[in-house]
Amino acid sequence: MKKLFFLVLIASISILMLSSCTEEQDFSQIDDLSVTPTLASGIFYLESDEETINSAGSFSAFYSQTVNFDAFNEAYVAERLLEGVMIYEIENTTSKRVDISIEFLDESGNILDVETFTVEANPSEIFTREVVYGPGGKSLSILANTSSLRVTARNLGDATSTSSLPEPKISLSSAAEFIFRLK
């Protein structure tokens, strides 16, 4: 009798389990899915000591470099860009007032946008600027069409003074965050 009871119980539980899992699955939810990842990356880094700045002379460029920037060279990527933020951090411990310009260039070398920084000598803190591209900011087409960045730094001071700080230098770092629509 006990054996029959357990057999009926197991059969009843099995039938209940099979009937409870028979709901049809709906995989059309993918149509409603919206994926917008944020990608962050460093772009470039510039560092120059005061001796190099002095050797370039007064009111002349001590740094000039064109950096390849093919982040959006694929149409698939450029078309899905929703917004972007370029973040610049500058620290100057030299005795020099410095001008830094960053030019966004297309494939033909045409200037699409320019960011300019005039940094005073021996500032007390790190200078940070965030530039928004997309809604509420500059045009996304600037980023989407940029092929390279030209970075130029000029000494706006004399060519002889030196800072009393140990290892005086100027540094500029840049990073970016981009938001894309994948679907």
Domain of 167, CATH number, reads: 2.60.120
The number of beta carbons lying within 10 Å of the beta carbon of residue 47 is 12
- Asked if the model's pLDDT at residue 33 lies above 90, the reply is no
Q: Is residue 84 part of a domain?
A: yes
- pLDDT at residue number 131: 95
Bigger pLDDT: 119 or 122? 119
- CA dist 8 and 5 (Å) reads 5
Q: Is residue 4 part of a domain?
A: no
Based on DSSP, count helices (H) and strands (E) in the chain, helices before strands.
4, 8
Q: What is the DSSP letter of 135?
A: T
Backbone φ and ψ for 42, nearest 5 degrees, come out as: -75, 145
pLDDT grade for 57, boundaries at 50, 70 and 90: confident
- Asked if the model's pLDDT at residue 172 lies above 90, the reply is yes
Q: Tell me the one-letter amino acid at 2.
A: K
For all residues of the chain together, what is the average pLDDT? 83
Domain tally for the chain? 1
Q: Report how far apart, in Å, the C-alpha atoms of 155 and of each of 46, 102, 118, 149, 163 are.
A: 14, 15, 10, 20, 14
Q: Is residue 158 part of a domain?
A: yes
- Asked if the model's pLDDT at residue 113 lies above 80, the reply is yes
Across the range 108-130, mean pLDDT stands at 90
Q: In percent, how much of the chain has pLDDT > 70? A: 82
- Asked if the model's pLDDT at residue 72 lies above 90, the reply is no
Torsion, Cα of 103, 46, 44, 67 (10° steps): 50
- Asked if the model's pLDDT at residue 171 lies above 90, the reply is yes
When mean pLDDT is compared over 16-20, 29-33, 110-114, the highest value belongs to 110-114
Q: Is residue 63 part of a domain?
A: yes
Across the range 119-146, mean pLDDT stands at 88
- Asked if the model's pLDDT at residue 103 lies above 90, the reply is yes
Domain that holds residue 98: 37-180
